[in-house]
Amino acid sequence: MLVAHEGNGLTDHAKNSARKLAELGYVAFALDYYGDGKPLPEDQIVARCSALIDDPLLTRVLGRAGLDVLLSSEYADTSMVAAIGYCFGGTMCLELARDGADLKAIVGFHAGLATSRPEDASDITGSVLVCVGAEDPLIPPAQRVAFEEEMRAGGVDWRMNLYGGATHSFTNPAADGSNPVLAYEPNADARSWRAMLDLFAEKFG
């Protein structure tokens, strides 16, 4: 299980998700796609994240590097791999899938769904689950509709779960609502985690 962090850098949020997956018996690796090993200063987040949003090919290269680290583990089953991510980390997982990575399941939690290369959806081989807050202004209805069209055109096995009352970062307890765009929503967090586990049960038994 590859775990990709939110756009603010590697924090306890992604690390804790990897630990929870490990407790369930999965081999899990929390990728640090910025390489800083810590959260970004607030004034750097937009610029660092935007640079990757604007360059999906670089995003895929970084995701592949993390995937290589995961698959180098002697405990990894290279035929049974999933990638999950939060915020831009979820976007990275979707770009990995569009790049044809051998992933059985791809899960994005409050992940940006837009891409400049929607035609690459035809290279997705695994099953896709995206979990989105219905009130998330960063993933508006038009973006969700475009993603649906992309998945349909690519012939992808996909599903999208919408969570009423949830905005961005609804899985992260550190999102305390001081920024109105970011707020933890415990029900959506629990329900989206269960949805992920349901997909894993379907794909991995």
Q: Nearest 5 degrees, angle CA 157-CA 95-CA 141? A: 70
Residue 37 has pLDDT above 90, yes or no: no
pLDDT value at 177 more than 80: no
Q: Which runs of E-coded beta strand occur in 29-101?
A: 29-31, 82-86
Does residue 97 have a pLDDT over 80?
A: yes
What are the sequence ranges of the domains in the chain?
Answer: 2-204
Please give the pLDDT value at position 176.
86
The CATH architecture annotation of domain 2-204 reads 3-Layer(aba) Sandwich (3.40)
pLDDT of residue 38: 86
pLDDT confidence of residue 102: 97
Q: Are 49 and 43 in contact (CB under 8 A)?
A: no
pLDDT of residue 36: 84
Query: For residue 9, what is the DSSP state?
Result: B
